[in-house]
């Protein structure tokens, strides 16, 4: 039961351009969404989150957009840097319960 | 302040053996979560523990898997009679009491289990 889907397994972007990572979910009761970044041989690290009462949250180069009617969220990274190359996981939870993760998108930022 | 520590980082077991994975949460964190990542898949929740209590084990397979978080010492994920399908990366995460289950979790580097 894949409640959180990241349909693009990989994304390649030129340094300095915008990276847009997408995530779709099926459970309309999800009320909290997070993005995690994972480097090889390391555990995921928290990046940014958004509550369902908002439609945008910004932190430096990272912005998360939430479209509840479409059950879609996206992570924008601008400008992209080579150090951003990693696997990005989208996660969602309902009523402060356990997180459900997507399969991840591997971002490659080319210098 | 050391992060979440997991050991071993790599574990090879033959079918039928037991695997023990350890997780030491961040200092001051009383909540521990275990996740499994199969190849080409996302992280799947397995179990949520607080000190000496299993709060939610809805993601744990009903047989062969168990977890504990004793008053002293690390959290242990135990897999008995391992099978090839248990080969995966197992991640532990911890959070402080105040963050809630869906709050920001701090992940360890994972243990990669290979069953031969």
Instruction: Tell me the per-residue pLDDT of A41-58, one tens digit each, with 9 for 90 and over.
Output: 889 999 999 999 999 999
> Which residues lie across from B96 on neighbouring strands?
none
Q: What pLDDT shows up at residue B8? A: 97
| Angle in degrees, CA B30, B62, A98, rounded to 5 | 40
Q: Chains A, B: CB contacts under 8 A, how many?
A: 62
pLDDT tens for chain B, residues 1 to 116: 579 999 999 999 999 999 999 999 998 888 899 999 987 778 888 999 988 899 889 889 999 999 999 988 999 999 999 999 999 999 999 988 655 555 678 999 999 999 99
Q: For residues B106 and A32, what is the distance between their CA atoms, to the nearest angstrom?
A: 17
Q: CA–CA separation, A5 vs B77, rounded Å? A: 27
The dihedrals phi and psi of A60, each to the nearest 5 degrees, come to 65, -125
Distance from CA of B30 to the nearest CA of A (A): 16
Tell which wins on pLDDT, A42 or A23. A23
Q: Report CA-CA distances (Å) from A32 to A61, A65, B26, B28, B80.
A: 21, 12, 23, 24, 35
Q: Is the pLDDT of residue A3 over 60?
A: yes
- A-facing residues of B in 26-85 (CB < 8 A) are 33, 35, 40-45, 48, 56, 58-59
- Give dist(CA B79, CA B67) in Å, integer: 9
Q: What is the pLDDT of residues B105-116, one digit of tens each?
A: 899 999 999 999
Separation in Å, CA of B32 to nearest CA in chain A: 12
For residue B107, give the chain A residue with the closest CA: A43
């Amino acid at each position: 039961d894949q409640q959180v889907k990241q349909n693009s397994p990989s994304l390649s972007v030129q340094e300095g351009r915008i990276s847009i990572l997408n995530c779709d979910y099926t459970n309309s009761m999800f009320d909290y969404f997070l993005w995690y970044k994972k480097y090889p041989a390391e555990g995921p690290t928290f990046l940014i989150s958004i509550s369902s009462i908002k439609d945008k949250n910004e932190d430096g180069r990272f912005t998360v957009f939430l479209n509840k009617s479409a059950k879609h969220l996206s992570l924008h990274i601008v400008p992209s840097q080579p150090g951003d190359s990693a696997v990005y996981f989208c996660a969602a939870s309902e009523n402060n319960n356990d997180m459900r993760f997507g399969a991840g998108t591997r971002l490659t930022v080319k210098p | 302040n050391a992060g979440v520590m997991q050991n071993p980082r790599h574990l090879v077991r033959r079918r039928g053996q037991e695997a023990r994975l350890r997780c030491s949460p961040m200092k001051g964190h009383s909540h521990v979560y275990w996740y499994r990542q199969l190849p080409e898949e996302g992280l799947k929740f397995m179990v949520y523990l607080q000190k000496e209590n299993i709060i939610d084990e809805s993601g744990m397979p009903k047989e062969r898997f168990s977890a504990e978080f004793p008053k002293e010492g690390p959290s242990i994920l135990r897999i008995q009679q391992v099978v090839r399908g248990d080969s995966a990366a197992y991640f532990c995460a911890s959070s402080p009491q105040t963050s809630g289950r869906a709050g920001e979790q701090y992940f360890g580097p994972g243990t990669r289990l290979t069953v031969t």
